[in-house]
Chains A and B, each alone.
Chain A
Amino acid sequence: MILIFTVIFGIVLFGIYRYNINSIQDIQNDLEESKSVSLLSQLPMSPYLQYSELSDEKEMVDTLKLLNLELENLGFRTIEVKQTYPKVNDLNCSKETYPNCDTYGIYSKVKASQDKKIISIPVSLYFPLTQETKIGNLVITTYG
């Protein structure tokens, strides 16, 4: 009788323990996802990316600022700005390839994980040298 009770009791406790561990993992994932969403809305307006003319901030990403930009301490995720229109060469952007390239990598800390979520937002890309505006996406990949 006592043995059966102990076994049932143990199973229940283990279940509660597993539930807690899973819910902590879920909270962690939720927090990382909400941080990515927040970054998505915040980054285009940050002084690291935003184009300004005579101190007047425009709703455009300054592509020259992206060329040598390395953001820090943003957890396990990658952040890229991709030019989508007009189509250009499928190349990473650097001093040599700019502006005939489509991907500006601004942050990368990859985790070997199957679980990854990709979110993106359209942005206007400004090219100060030619004074052209093109269309792109700010893409954030979050690793679980």
Chain B
Amino acid sequence: MHKKAEIQFYWIFVAVAGIAIFIFLVSFGLKFKELQEEKTAVKVLNQLDETFSSLQGSQFKTSSSLNMPIPLNVQCDTLSVNGKIKKTDNLIFSPKILQGNVLIGFNPYKMPFKIANFFYIIRKEDTYSFVYDRNNEKEVKDIAKNFKSYFPDNVEITDNPKNKIKIYFRDNDNADIIVDSGKVFYKDGKNIDYYNEAMLYGAIISKDKCLFEKTDEEKKKVIEVYKNKIGFLPLDCNYQPILTSLQRFENAQGNEISSVLENQNKALLNKNCPVVF
């Protein structure tokens, strides 16, 4: 009787220990898998961000393509993969979710000096029609030609649009985006101001105002660098006008102040003074 109880206890002990070890092994396996996935996500995010940064080594506009094996979420200055988040300093104009083949256009943003680099990313299946009419054909062709140079197979400049996203330069019921009087209007009623071609392209791809706010912050930092530089330039040259314009530019937008700065900078060279930018 005593021996039988001992054997029963032995088997119960083996069963409980076996189940405990099994649960432990399964949970360990799951945790290990989770960790490996997190490591992959972190690797992908960082490599992607580094790829963008490396493109900035080029000072010319350029384009490239990339395959995203897993969905990448792009939200202003945040990239995320599988719930893993990474802040980026790169200004990426793109749809919110990228997966599969994507096309990348890259352009230094100048106003009038270089402020930052803009990345334009579109999905391979996204196609754009820049639509002109009899009255604005030349203007639209001029505006759209660089966008087409980044994504030649995805962009048409036409008066008979067939592509997925239709951009009109006058009010039109078929329009997904209307560009008019320095503003980009979207179907949902939202709008964004733009001041040059680089910003217009950004606004066409992404309606995230946050990127323009980041650009503005970047502009202020670059202005600070130039203001500091002026402090070391010769006192016998008059840098006061350009310094005042730079101060104004910190809190202003637009092409007008940009042209003023450009002219003031040119005037310095005419007086044999070192230029600011």
Contact = CB atoms under 8 A, between A and B. Distances in A.
Contacts of B228: 65, 67-69
Contacts of A39: 53
A129 B233 CA distance: 7
B232 A55 contact: no
A65 B59 contact: no
Main secondary structure of the interface of B (DSSP, over half): helix
Interface string B1-26: 00000000000000001000100000
Interface string B90-125: 000000000000000000101011111000000000
B179 to A, nearest CB: 25
A64 B232 contact: yes
B115 A47 contact: yes
Interface stretch (A16-24, A80-88, A108-116, A132-140): A16-24
A47 B225 contact: yes
Interface in A37-52: 38-39, 41-42, 45-48, 50, 52
A47 B50 contact: no
Interface string A1-15: 010000001000100
Interface in B218-240: 221-222, 225, 228-229, 231-234
A20 B35 contact: yes
Contact of A55 (B21, B57, B110, B222): B110
A95 B56 CA distance: 30
B110 to A, nearest CB: 6
A62 B222 CA distance: 13
A53 B110 CA distance: 13
Contacts of A35: 46, 50
A57 B233 contact: no
A142 B21 CA distance: 43
Given A38-B50, A39-B53, 13 more contacts: A31-B42, A34-B46, A38-B53, A41-B57, A47-B115, A47-B116, A50-B114, A52-B114, A55-B262, A57-B59, A57-B114, A64-B229, A129-B232
